[in-house]
Amino acid sequence: MDAKTISFPSSAQAAPAAASDNTQKPKPCCVCKDEKSKRDECMLFSKASDPAADCKSFVEQYKSCMLGFGYKV
């Protein structure tokens, strides 16, 4: 295999793609506000001995919403 036949993308070509992903993706603090609020209220004001188990549905809704925006929580 000749070294001239192998071409690698330059960093100049790869950089705009990465930059455009960051500009289109909203900040994690700005998405899923309703789900986050419900999750937080449940965790703070839960009277259960295990608030995490009591609020599991709200936590799952929040995780699902964040995953929709590309964030793994």
Known binder of ligand: residue 29? Answer: yes
Secondary structure of the chain in HEC code, one letter for each residue: CCHHHCCCCCHHHHHHHHHHHHHHCCCHHHCCHHHHHHHHHHHHHCCCCCHHHHCHHHHHHHHHHHHHCCCCC
Residue ranges for the known binding site are: 29-30
Binding-site annotation, residues for Cu cation? 29-30
